[in-house]
Amino acid sequence: MPQLKQPFWLIAALALFWAASASADNYPDFVTLVDQHSPAVVSINTKSEPKEKERSWRGHPQIPENTPFHDYFKKFFEQMPELQAQPKSSVGSGFIISPDGYIVTNAHVVEDMDSIIVGLNDRTEFPAQVIGKDSRSDIAVLKVKADKPLPTVKIGDISKVKVGQWVLAIGSPFGFERSATQGIISAVGRSLPSDNYVPFIQTDAAVNPGNSGGPLFNLDGEVIGVNSQIYSRSGGYQGLSFAVPIDVAMDVVDQLKTGGKVSRGWLGVLIQEVTPELAQSFNLDKPRGALVGQVLPDSPAQTAGIQVGDIIVSFNGQSINQSRELPPLVGRIRPGASIPLILVREGKEQTLTIKLEELPEDAKQEKAIAVPPSRGRLGLSVTELPADQRQEGTKGVWVKEVSEGPAANAGIRAGDIIVRLNNVEINDPAQFAEQAKQLPAGRPVPVLIKRDNGALFLALNIPEKE
């Protein structure tokens, strides 16, 4: 029986129709999401008046009185017209979390601002009061007085957030109010250099200046993050934006509403990432945990018996795979709580119980110093520490010169202070030389250095003789 042959153009057209239909059916319904939830998103316009010392400025330089032209130039500059400082203004975003007018935004949106005006979706405007703000999380709480209940957002469950999920950002980029942009979650638990207590959500949703403080929605219309930062070399969107997870934000909100400030747990250690070379030098089966490079004096860590060279692999029942995971976990615990902690010391696991204290305002943050890249084969010569440092109780030897050899492969630089070599404390150059002779060849050993007021472990590998 002969088969009917369909024209090629008809088959292609049907294929395109089916593909378009399938794509339309599977694509998220952002239209409904925006219609239902944008009324709870607000624009925030701020203004600050010039401070008294900024109101006038003649701009003349300081001229030494003993110069022959002092009187002439002083009179010249004093006759110049005064320059009046101008008011500063900016725009941001936020979202309403309660019908009585509580609003969440970024702390940097309202920092040092004298006037804050909140604009609703229906173009109604209200003056806003700052209830509290927290610079470490970049979260602020505002309050407006409305004559009727306001629309609110739904708060999402951060434990359900997964990489690859669709997200929608709504805000006022560059002042263009009620702008919606879509994307996906690119990463979770992202640590940024200036923020050690926030495990950011990374997305590729277009976020620009003015989006700050606005909500990041999932497809269920729930807020899962507060848009906070972008990574950009141009000042505008370049595919990387970061949001404060909603659980972190709401914890800060609750503390600001009830107590006016945020209390965080404090461990009192400086940590760094465990590289494959360091893992081998500490006899770990694989790179994991947070390596303690310094224990701060009079800290909970010192009281609990944590030592330099310990590797923290679990905190409060949660495994630590990368060092960046530890500070947010510590910060979320209320001061005074006793927390179990598992660490690896000399190849063996130990469990300690540590009572956290409140993070001081001026405390060193529990973060790592970046490991410098390898710069070829170098050696080194060391000298005794300066007398003033020895009198202060500082131990170790000062790296005077770096030349070709294993030291530079590890990242040691001239000016570093070597404190420990292969887990042995170093007191003077003679002891350092003796300890260096005993280093095993063919496998990395840990060396602890001090650099720029911080402590850092490096992996020193002595090559086997050929």
Based on the fold, state whether residues 279 and 307 are members of the same structural domain: yes
> CA-CA distance, 22 to 39, in Å (whole number)?
31
Do 138 and 158 share a domain, yes or no? no
pLDDT tens figures, 209-262: 899 999 999 999 999 999 998 877 777 778 889 999 999 999 999 999 998 899
Clarify whether residues 325 and 416 are in a common domain: no
What does residue 360 show for φ and ψ, rounded to 5 degrees? Answer: -70, 155
Please provide the average confidence, as pLDDT, over all residues in the chain.
83
Please give the model's pTM, rounded to 2 decimal places: 0.72
Are 241 and 279 members of one domain? no
Residue 19 lies in a domain: no
Is the domain of 390 the same as that of 346?
no
Q: Beta strands of 280-425 (E only): which ranges? A: 290-295, 311-315, 318-319, 338-345, 348-355, 357-358, 378-384, 397-404, 417-421, 424-425
Instruction: Based on the residue annotation, tell me whether 452 is a catalytic residue of this protein.
Output: no
Residues 161 and 235 in one domain: yes
Torsion sign across C-alpha atoms 317, 321, 326, 329: negative
- Give residue 221's pLDDT: 96
pLDDT at 69: 58
pLDDT of 451 reads 86
- Using pLDDT thresholds of 50, 70 and 90, give the confidence band for residue 2: very low
| 8, part of any domain | no
Percent of the chain past pLDDT 90, that is, above it, reads 47
Q: Domains in the chain: how many in total?
A: 4
pLDDT band per the 50, 70, 90 thresholds, residue 314: very high
Do 450 and 389 contact (CB within 8 A), yes or no?
no
**pLDDT at 367 (0 to 100):** 47
> Are residues 135 and 166 located together in one domain of the fold?
no
pLDDT of 375: 35
Instruction: Mark whether 335 and 309 lie in a shared domain.
Output: yes
Arithmetic mean of pLDDT, 17-46: 80
**DSSP one-letter string for 427-448:** -SHHHHHHHHHTPPSSSEEEEE
When comparing pLDDT for 230 and 51, which is higher? Answer: 230
Domain boundary among 117, 143, 169: 143
CATH code, domain with 316: 2.30.42.10
The per-residue pLDDT for range 75-127, each reduced to its tens digit, is 666 666 555 556 777 899 999 999 999 999 999 999 988 899 999 988 899 99
Task: Answer whether residue 292 is part of any domain.
Answer: yes
Domain boundary among the residues 297, 328, 358 is at 358
Domain annotation covers residue 366: no
From 178-182, 297-301, 409-413, the region with the lowest mean pLDDT? 409-413
* Segments forming the whole domain that contains residue 85: 38-143
- State mean pLDDT over 55-68: 55
pLDDT in tens, 355-375: 999 988 765 554 444 334 333
Structure tokens at 265: 């747990």
Catalytic residue, chosen from 108, 204, 251, 263, is 108
Q: Maximum Cα–Cα distance for the chain, whole Å?
A: 114
User: Is 175 contained in some domain?
Assistant: yes
Q: Answer with the one of 259, 282, 297 that is the final residue of a domain.
A: 259
Identify whether 37 is a catalytic site residue.
Answer: no
Pair 49, 137 in one domain: yes
Quote the pLDDT of residue 85.
59
| Residue 22 included in any domain | no
Residue of 38, 93, 191, 212 with catalytic role: 212
Which token pair is 410? 């590890």
Residue of 461, 19, 87, 106 whose CA lies nearest to 276: 461
- Same domain? For 135 and 68 the reply is yes
Question: Of 134, 138, 195, 416, which is the active-site residue?
Answer: 138
Q: Are residues 194 and 134 in the same domain?
A: no
Q: Which residue has the higher pLDDT, 321 or 379?
A: 321
Asked if 25 is an active-site residue, the reply is no
∠ at Cα 317 (197, 313), nearest 5°? Answer: 70
CATH code of the domain covering residue 79: 2.40.10.10
Same domain, residue pair 128 and 49: yes
